[in-house]
Amino acid sequence: MARFSPPDTSSYDRVAYLVGYPIAHSKSPSLHHAIYSAVGQRWGQVLCETTDLESFLTFLKSDKKCMGSGVTMPFKVAIIPYLDELTDEGNAIGAVNTIVFKTGPSGSRLYCGTNTDCLGIRDAFLTNVEGSPYREKPGLVVGGGGTCRAAVYALQQFMGCSPIYIINRDASEVEAVLQECRIRGVSDNLIYVSTTDQARTLPSPGAVVSAVPNFTPVTEAEKTVREILSIFLDGDEKGAFLEMCYHPSPDTELSRLALQSGWQVIGGIEAMIGQGLAQASLWTGIEIDGRLRDVAREEVQRQMTNVH
């Protein structure tokens, strides 16, 4: 078990955290530092790499300088029972990546969970695609995990895609997503596409979100998913393809497949930037504009260059 040790925050006037494990490779602190420096503030984000969630939360509630926290794996779902409330996004997605502080009726601090991953996905499309070529067209999500849920929400609620296709190597993961959406009453326009024959009968999507790691298909299930995706990408209409995988490299098999098929490919750092900017705004009240977006993008690109 990775014990929790309170981090050193002496160089900041106000601080946010990121809790999860393992997260040593995270670019989130440098992203937030760049944003806050650009508005002239000694604010920052500090990593809390631990598997001891309860000790972290005890620390969080005692820290006077804290303005909020990011939450990543393996705690995006596990943290929910510890929170006082969820936003519509947090509730609908069933996963939290951001803790925001609110003031309760008696002046007490309330801990509110939300999900800015869906905002990052939305902004990746809105800031990189001209017009709204995906509105009222099908959307497609590759994957079945937490990012899949955020992608479904973004495509449904923000981008006007309908229906939403889901393809994934693990049928049980998709069934879990569908079941959660049924409970929340938002499953009517979700379609699990499980065969190549089924894919050939469906209209081409206008927007695709790939929410899986970069790997070469080995099992029959993985090969089938890759074939289904190829069928959709090779359709008559082309759209925008968001490749959420950017670590260790944004050059993935699926991004190359999409490019070869004539799709506009959007790198996952665009979604990472969008969700981070949304967090910064929620924690501090700063207004996000094109200048801050450029600052954030330049910092993440610099970090990526240093890795390679």
Same domain, 170 and 256: yes
Same domain, 263 and 145: yes
Same domain, 91 and 111: yes
**pLDDT for 248:** 75
**pLDDT for 132:** 85
Position with higher pLDDT, 182 vs 141: 141
Q: What is the mean pLDDT of residues 63-89?
A: 94
Domain count, the chain: 2
- 126 lies in some domain: yes
**pLDDT for 123:** 95
- Cα 9 versus chain centre, distance: 26
59: containing domain: 14-115
Q: Distance from first CA to last CA of the chain, Å, rounded?
A: 31
For residue 1, pLDDT over 80 is answered with no
Q: What is the pLDDT of residues 258-277, one digit of tens each?
A: 999 999 999 999 999 999 99
Q: What is the mean pLDDT of residues 123-150?
A: 91
CATH (domain of 105): 3.40.50.10860
- 276 lies in some domain: no
Same domain, 149 and 256: yes
Least confident of 36-40, 82-86, 105-109: 105-109
Tell me what percent of the residues of the chain surpass a pLDDT of 90: 77
- 192 lies in some domain: yes
The single residue listed with the structure tokens 């895609």 is 161
Same domain, 151 and 86: no
User: What confidence category does residue 307 fall into, taking pLDDT thresholds of 50, 70 and 90?
Assistant: low
Same domain, 103 and 183: no
Q: How far is CA 81 from CA 4, 13, 71, 74, 153, in A?
A: 20, 30, 14, 14, 21
For residue 280, pLDDT over 70 is answered with yes
Q: 185 — alpha (psi -120 to 50), left (phi > 0) or beta?
A: left
Q: State the burial class of residue 231 (Cβ atoms within 10 Å of its Cβ: 0-12, 13-18, 19+).
A: middle
Say how far apart CA 231 and CA 229 lie, in whole Å.
5
Q: What is the mean pLDDT of residues 103-129?
A: 94
Domain boundary (115, 147, 174) is at 115
Contact indicator for 167, 230 with CB cutoff of 8 Å: no
Same domain, 28 and 75: yes
Same domain, 26 and 156: no
The pLDDT mean for the chain works out to 93
Task: Quote the pTM value.
Answer: 0.90
Please name the residue ranges forming H helices in the chain: 28-38, 53-62, 88-93, 117-126, 146-153, 171-183, 196-200, 220-233, 253-260, 268-284, 290-307
- 46 lies in some domain: yes
For residue 147, pLDDT over 90 is answered with no
Same domain, 82 and 185: no
Contact indicator for 299, 30 with CB cutoff of 8 Å: yes
Position with higher pLDDT, 68 vs 4: 68
- 1 lies in some domain: no
Q: What is the pLDDT of residues 169-197, one digit of tens each?
A: 999 999 988 888 888 777 789 999 999 99
- 131 lies in some domain: yes
Same domain, 177 and 95: no
Q: What is the pLDDT of residues 15-55, one digit of tens each?
A: 999 999 999 988 899 999 999 999 999 999 999 999 999 99
Say how far apart CA 109 and CA 4 lie, in whole Å.
23
Nearest to 53 by CA among 11, 20, 88: 20
- 140 lies in some domain: yes
CATH (domain of 247): 3.40.50.720
